[in-house]
Structure 1
């Protein structure tokens, strides 16, 4: 496949991306409202985050393109007796990984593996990806390092790692039990059958070795706040090994994140939004709880946590609110956007909301009971 063909596919994907087009229209509207100069947009973007996301996308694509995930999928299918067993296994793995690798990284591991398994045996791919998105939202809420909002609130709270986990444990335990029960009901018990011989997918050992070697190096350098330099090294190495991998990266997802940073920060800066926040009575814990959930549906849970922390230091209520707020609309959590972008079905967002909105309602009820009724 030539470079022009790959570039053409990337451009076609951008043209067909409805959410990207909505963000562009929102940018135009917010620009007119705020009269923000174009040269100020760059300062609204968290470039280290974009660099980290780009590196993870590149490395994940390297592992996926090597054929390794297909081999692992074949091995796992041998131990999965049914569609329900496969779903429970993948959902549980996504939740567990998110507690230590963050929700985004967990998706970069689980979703490509899921897509590989679905190429081997017929499974409801979109539904699996949706449930994995729900799983990382629930699982990552447990630990201070599970997602960005928890990391921020952990630093704000001054609590130990164990104290933070202990506070979040009741909510996460109930959400996970509920999620596993719904997963068992949503997937059938039919037996799995392999539909694709393993020999048809050769393993690119060189690409796999380079990608796996770069993974820990990239994560360590990113943790040390050298994400841009780490990204440069990753792109250079992959370009030398298999340049086509870079052309297959979801560049549209990166553009979506850039536009979200700009749009959300322009939105939060509006006088109308600031006035609304001031009028919500956030000093009252119950008001803070509902505000955290509601604002997450508008600006995503990480910006919501940062914005609301300016009005209240009640980290316990805020942690419950913004983690529950990751459910509901797809903008509630950036992990939702990552999962839906990686799903093969362009209408996956419809299926996502069918399951995620009820989880938001139930999760809000559970959080209210745990915080205010017990």
Structure 2
């Protein structure tokens, strides 16, 4: 069955690169699920092998962060925050800096996708009311969310996988990866400020007084306090506890115990499609790594290629993140790559995350930002994004590479 496993693996990751299979409306989640089903139905793997390959610890933590984000959304926090950001009593450059700083900080403790999804629509309304072009602000939200999420183990899905794989320490990860994440945020601001496209956009300002038309947004403070408490609890779990998954699921249980929010309201905001994508990919990559011949071939190939060298890892992360996506890339490398040291895992987390800023397709957060902008009437083309995303990514990666080389 070696040939079938390799064929399914190739077909699934080809679909990850294109986002679909030609001629079909199926998306990445459907492709991963079908790939897993083909392996099971053909007998290439059995049910026990499939279950054993699924990293339920990562899924549990990811579910916890999604439920936590749902709690924030229900409290009105995201609406309130987006409204306050867009009405800061600052000039265009100051507003841009505020957007980058806040979105970057939030993404370090929440999944970056949720931050982008929640903040983008309201921010667009605010900057348009000022007479500003919203394009650079939307791109700033996406790039800042990606860069900021690189700082912690809970900032994005690929970091969660890396954390569980290497049982990484939260504080050590923050010390190693927080610096390139902060540098990444500074690079986002610098490129946006000095880009001719953005410079011109920031000069188009109306005579409206910033902050004069702040919309009153209802904020449920008890619900917000519950969300903040849960966030602190999750961080403490990652710092102090080894069995993170079970304790994180306890947080989910506590959030479900509510007199205001029904279970359907809490779980209705969970991205079940993403969880299904993870399950499918876990099974497909697990089948590859479970075959001794295939696993040895990939292990030897990646070792010969020099994947353990930071410079090579940067290149693989940049190409892989902008073709098959950073989550599938990380899952594949962890399953089939060489023995990963702690410094290599730190590098993989930073490089794969920062590489997501390169093109629209490099990160789910980018896609969400562009789609949200389109719904609000702001069209950001592939070229519009690339003119800013490419220099942001290349500069960030060079600086991150220098930092990782210095501390390794």
TM-score bin, normalised by smaller chain: 0.5 to 0.7
Offset of residue 71 of structure 1: 2.8
Offset of residue 290 of structure 1: 1.6
Offset of residue 35 of structure 1: 0.9
Aligned to 1:277: 299
Aligned to 1:325, the other structure's residue is in SS state: helix
Structure 2 CA distance, aligned partners of 1:31 and 1:352? 43
Aligned to 1:35, the other structure's residue is in SS state: coil
Q: Is 1:20 aligned to 2:29, yes or no? A: yes
TM-score relative to the length of structure 2? 0.62
Structure 1 CA distance, aligned partners of 2:218 and 2:177? 47
Aligned to 2:267, the other structure's residue is in SS state: helix
Structure 2 CA distance, aligned partners of 1:80 and 1:266? 55
Structure 2 CA distance, aligned partners of 1:38 and 1:196? 58
Structure 1 CA distance, aligned partners of 2:348 and 2:310? 8
Native 8 Å contact 1:292 1:304 kept in 2: no
Aligned to 1:251: 272
Q: Is 1:58 aligned to 2:67, yes or no? A: yes
1:216 to 208, 232, 243: 232
Count of matched residue pairs: 349
TM-score relative to the length of structure 1? 0.67
Native 8 Å contact 1:327 1:356 kept in 2: no
Structure 2 CA distance, aligned partners of 1:120 and 1:303? 38
Q: Is 1:118 aligned to 2:119, yes or no? A: no
With over 3 angstroms needed to count, the CA separation of the structure-2 counterparts of 1:33 and 1:321, relative to structure 1, is farther
Offset of residue 239 of structure 1: 6.9
1:230 to 248, 251, 255: 251
2:372 to 329, 344, 347: 344
Aligned to 1:325: 352
Q: Is 1:198 aligned to 2:215, yes or no? A: yes
State the Cα deviation string for residues 305-330 of structure 1 (Å, max 9, x = none).
Answer: 645774464x5566445522334469
With over 3 angstroms needed to count, the CA separation of the structure-2 counterparts of 1:349 and 1:62, relative to structure 1, is farther
Offset of residue 113 of structure 1: 3.5
Native 8 Å contact 2:54 2:283 kept in 1: yes
Native 8 Å contact 1:98 1:140 kept in 2: yes
Structure 1 CA distance, aligned partners of 2:333 and 2:105? 23
Offset of residue 278 of structure 1: 0.2
Offset of residue 57 of structure 1: 1.9
Q: What is the RMSD of the two structures over their aligned residues, measured on CA atoms?
A: 4.9
With over 3 angstroms needed to count, the CA separation of the structure-2 counterparts of 1:83 and 1:242, relative to structure 1, is farther
With over 3 angstroms needed to count, the CA separation of the structure-2 counterparts of 1:207 and 1:365, relative to structure 1, is closer
With over 3 angstroms needed to count, the CA separation of the structure-2 counterparts of 1:356 and 1:303, relative to structure 1, is farther
Offset of residue 339 of structure 1: 6.3
Native 8 Å contact 2:150 2:349 kept in 1: no
Aligned to 1:7: none
Aligned to 1:249, the other structure's residue is in SS state: coil
Structure 2 CA distance, aligned partners of 1:144 and 1:222? 8
Structure 2 CA distance, aligned partners of 1:363 and 1:336? 16
Offset of residue 275 of structure 1: 0.8
State the Cα deviation string for residues 148-180 of structure 1 (Å, max 9, x = none).
Answer: 477579878x9x949x847984x5566444322
State the Cα deviation string for residues 287-311 of structure 1 (Å, max 9, x = none).
Answer: 5642564265457464466457744
Structure 2 CA distance, aligned partners of 1:128 and 1:220? 33
Give the 5 Å matches for 1:126-145.
Answer: 128=137, 131-141=140-150
Aligned to 1:3: none
Structure 1 CA distance, aligned partners of 2:133 and 2:54? 36
Structure 2 CA distance, aligned partners of 1:29 and 1:229? 35
Native 8 Å contact 1:167 1:316 kept in 2: no
Structure 2 CA distance, aligned partners of 1:323 and 1:83? 29
Give the 5 Å matches for 1:1-374.
Answer: 18-28=27-37, 35-82=44-91, 84-97=93-106, 101=109, 104-105=110-111, 108-109=114-115, 111-122=117-128, 128=137, 131-141=140-150, 147-148=159-160, 161=172, 165=175, 169=179, 175-184=184-193, 185=195, 187=198, 188-189=201-202, 190-191=204-205, 198-199=215-216, 201-205=217-221, 207-220=223-236, 224=241, 225=244, 226-237=247-258, 243-269=264-290, 271-272=293-294, 274-282=296-304, 289-291=311-313, 293-294=315-316, 297=321, 300=327, 302-303=330-331, 306-307=334-335, 310-311=338-339, 313=341, 316=343, 319-320=346-347, 322-328=349-355, 336-337=363-364, 340=367, 344=372, 354=386
With over 3 angstroms needed to count, the CA separation of the structure-2 counterparts of 1:18 and 1:124, relative to structure 1, is farther
Offset of residue 221 of structure 1: 5.1
Structure 2 CA distance, aligned partners of 1:329 and 1:72? 25
